[in-house]
């Protein structure tokens, strides 16, 4: 099954969070690779650096986590797949029109769901409930 992961899910695999065990169990049950977007890659890099800013990680620990992620990409656990910006923004805008008033969706969350849909993912990996509602409403397995 083709799976797309949002950034929060991926961060849970490299940084100890309340969702880390669930993320690891999910990954164990999935066939690699798990897809993510360049947006997800950017958000992951930023999440590690924000952890340094907040005093949660040292600079070295953040760099090590980044290297671990890059190793997982090199080993085929994850693959970063681009989506043309014009299609991405159009799809995310359509999702905003249909779901944001109901679910309180944020723009970047909609971009993740839109990316998963445009790539043809079947499963959407996220711990964000609002994001999962949009993904489910679009037929993705969460």
Instruction: Kindly report the pTM of this predicted structure.
Output: 0.93
21, pLDDT greater than 90: yes
Record: fold of 3-137: Rossmann fold (3.40.50)
118, pLDDT greater than 90: yes
Rounded mean pLDDT, 62-71: 97
pLDDT at 80: 96
Name which of 74, 62, 142 is nearest 109 in CA terms. Answer: 142
Tens-digit pLDDT profile for residues 83-100: 988 899 999 999 999 999
Name which of 71, 83, 74 is nearest 40 in CA terms. Answer: 83
31, pLDDT greater than 90: no
Rounded mean pLDDT, 78-82: 95
Rounded mean pLDDT, 31-58: 94
Rounded mean pLDDT, 103-123: 96
- Percentage above 70 pLDDT, the chain: 100
Q: Which single residue is written with the structure tokens 């950034």?
A: 7
Domain range annotation of the chain: 3-137
pLDDT at 32: 80
Q: Is 95:89 a contact under the CB 8 Å cutoff?
A: no
């Amino acid at each position: 099954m083709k799976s797309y992961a949002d950034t929060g899910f991926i961060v849970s695999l490299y940084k100890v969070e309340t969702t880390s065990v669930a993320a690891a169990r999910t990954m164990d049950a999935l066939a690699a690779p798990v897809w993510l977007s360049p947006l997800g890659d950017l958000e992951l890099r930023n999440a590690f650096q924000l952890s340094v800013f907040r005093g949660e990680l040292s600079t070295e620990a953040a760099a090590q986590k980044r290297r671990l992620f890059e190793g997982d990409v090199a080993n085929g656990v994850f693959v970063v797949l681009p989506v043309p910006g014009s299609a991405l923004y159009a799809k995310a805008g359509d999702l905003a029109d249909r779901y944001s008033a109901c679910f309180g969706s944020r723009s970047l969350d909609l971009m993740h769901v839109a990316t998963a849909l445009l790539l043809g993912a079947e499963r959407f990996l996220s711990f964000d409930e609002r994001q999962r509602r949009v993904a489910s409403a679009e037929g993705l397995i969460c």
